[in-house]
Amino acid sequence: MSIEPVDLRQIDANAANVYEAIIVCSLRARQINNDNKIEFNALLSTIPETTTDDEAEDIDNPAQLKISLEMEKRPKPHIQALKELLNSEIEYAYKE
């Protein structure tokens, strides 16, 4: 996994204040994360549960494992939010 630095001048070009832009990105990342959680839980609810007599035994459910791996392959919410900000896809305004 590589780390890509973000040039603050790019963020400054898309927002009036860098710090406000970072706050907006963090709020958007939380929205994306909540949407992902809702989608993940909806997908998990479609999988039939396997019941066993022995609760201590771990049994891997292949359908659940597949869904989990697909969700892990997605870009992280903070990366998505930052890209949306840099592409001017996020609009925000002050409360009055």
- Positive or negative, the CA dihedral 50, 53, 55, 58 is negative
Asked, for residue 91, whether it belongs to a domain, the answer is no
Residue 50 confidence (pLDDT) = 64
Is 3 domain-assigned? no
Per-residue pLDDT tens digits for 45-82: 888 776 655 554 556 778 888 888 898 999 999 999 99
Which domain covers residue 27, as residue numbers?
8-47+60-86
Work out the end-to-end distance of the chain between its first and last CA atoms, rounded to an integer number of angstroms. Answer: 42
Q: What is the pLDDT of residues 22-50, one digit of tens each?
A: 999 999 999 999 999 999 999 888 887 76
Q: Residue 66: inside a domain, yes or no?
A: yes
Model pTM score: 0.77
Res 63: pLDDT: 82
Domain count, the chain: 1
Measured over the CA atoms of residue 84, residue 10, residue 20 and residue 72, the dihedral's sign is: positive
Cβ neighbours, 10 Å, residue 13 = 11
